[in-house]
Amino acid sequence: MKTVETTFVLSYTEEQYARAKNYIEDMKNHRNRVYWQGKEGKSDEELIISHIAHRILSGFYKNYDPFYATRQIMDMKNKKNLNP
């Protein structure tokens, strides 16, 4: 299997930030959920930004406009990982 490391530059709204912050606060009440696997030691800000990025890249913010995500993904850079 080959892998690639990709860096995105995303824009997000205050509403998206607030929604993600509320989601993280709610997840703190459910520490046994799969969500927390691999997230040990991350700050609330890291979790919030990661959640926003995940939702943008997953298409949850498309709002029935197929070009909405393309306006939020400002830039993308790829670096091929030579390790198999």
Better-scored residue on pLDDT, 65 or 38: 38
8 A C-beta contact, residue 84 and residue 1:
yes
Q: What is the pTM of this model?
A: 0.71
Better-scored residue on pLDDT, 27 or 77: 27
Domain count across the chain:
1
pLDDT higher than threshold 70 for residue 52 = yes
pLDDT at 54: 87
Of 8-12, 17-21, 49-53, 66-70, which has the strongest mean pLDDT? 17-21
pLDDT average, residue stretch 9-35: 92
8 A C-beta contact, residue 10 and residue 75:
no
Domain span holding position 59 = 3-81
